[in-house]
Structure formats: structure tokens, C-alpha cells
Amino acid sequence: MTVKNNPLSSIVVSGPIPAHLARPVIEETLRNAILDGRLPCGTAIRQEALAQLFGVSRMPVREALRQLEAQSLLQVVQYKGAVVAPLIEDNSLHAYELRLLLEAQALRLSVPLLADEDFEAAEGYIEALEVETDFGKIGTLNRQFHQTLYCKAPNKKLLALIETGLIEEERFLRFNLKQMNLGKLCQDDHRALLHHARARDIEACIAELESHLQRGVKAITHYLDTQKAKQP
Ligand code: NI
């Protein structure tokens, strides 16, 4: 492999990393490189090369890779090791079904406990989405908006599962938002969600979330259909 073709060459490490920060720094750096496409789908991620690049032992590298695998950003393939996961999987529609269950439950637990500052934060994300043009940042703001509505749910395990689903979606949005042309419709949904949350109308919130997630299902179905049409 030449240096030019080395996908890790796009990753810049600024100086030595303190040992206790190694895992989170490696995780964050790789996550950003996967999300912005510097490490494309199918790229093999070698522990040794990473340990060398970051100037650390293999242990924090292994831990970081495990985290990214749990977030569905990496996959472990037999004989190949960890590779960057495909943008979307055939089971993505099932993932949406699960998301609706999990996020509806989070709304039930969280909405009654939301405070004024949570509503203001959610409003802030909607306003930021209104003016943001960078697709990567739009994906992040969308995730933060949704997480704000769930944040008071006391079940941290539930919130962690939800975050994984949202990160998966964030990655998809980053590459497909433009084609999906969903911006305006999604914002209407977001405003409606916030409105119902403020009114503490949980059932209306859940109904709105369902139609919001349905847009995602449609976009993904369309994406999978066009991918299939491209295959010989
Ligand atoms: Ni959304």
C-alpha cells in the first residue's frame, strides 16, 4: 500500500495524547473521519497502524474500535478485521421500527419532566437547523434536537440505545440529505413535536414522531431501490 492510498493519511494527530484520553480521542477522531467520508465504507481499520499513528498501545485502540462497532460504524469481518460499515443495511427498516418503539418510550418518560430550559434548547436547535447548510452539521443538530426531547428519561440504557440509532441516521443523512430534499418537511415535524411536548400531549408527540420517522423509512426504501437498480 502506498502512502497516497493509505486512508489513515487523512487523519491528523496533533501531538502526544495523555494515556487516559487515548480511547475517547481515537474514538472521536475515527468517528468524524467515518462520518465525513474520509474513511469510506469497506475501509479496513488496522489496530497496529492506528496505535502507531496515535502513538499509543493497542489496548485503547481496541477499546475505541469496540465502541465504534457498538455504534454500527464499524463491522468486524472474518479474516479482514474491522472495516467501516456500509452506509445502510438491508435491516435498516427494522432499525426504524425499533427506533419508534424506543423513542416513543423515551417521550413517555421524558416529556412530563421537561423544563423550560429544555424547550428553549430544542427551539434553539430548530432555529439552528433553519440556517445551517452543512449536511454534516444538519445531521448533528437533528440528533441533538431529538435527544433534547428525550433527555429527562431516567433510563440511561434506553437513551444509549436511542443514541446509537440516531448516530446511524446521522451518517445516512450526511450523504443523502441533499437528494432526499426533506429539509422543510422535517422542520415542520420538529416544530409540531416541540409544540406537543410543550403541551405535555404525549400521544400527539408519539403520533408526530411516527410520521417523522416514516419519512426516514421512505427515504431509505428509495435509496435501497436505487442502489438495487444500479446493480448489473
Ligand atoms: Ni428529525
For residue range 84-125, list pLDDT tens digits in order.
988 776 677 888 889 999 999 999 999 999 999 999 999 999
Tell me how far the alpha carbon of residue 212 lies from the centroid of ligand 1, in angstroms.
Answer: 7
Residue 102 CA to ligand 1 center (angstroms) comes to 15
Q: 132, 152 in Cβ contact below 8 A?
A: no
- Which H or E run contains 88? none
Left, alpha or beta for 57 (phi > 0: left; psi -120 to 50: alpha)?
beta
User: Ligand 1 centroid to 232 CA: how many Å?
Assistant: 34
CA of 190 to the centre of ligand 1 (A): 6
Give the cell for residue 130: 433553519
Structure confidence by residue, pLDDT tens digits, 38-97: 888 889 999 999 999 999 999 999 999 999 998 888 998 888 889 998 877 667 788 888
Q: Are 47 and 61 in contact (CB under 8 A)?
A: yes
A 10 A CB-CB count for 210 gives 12
Distance CA 230, CA 232 (A): 6
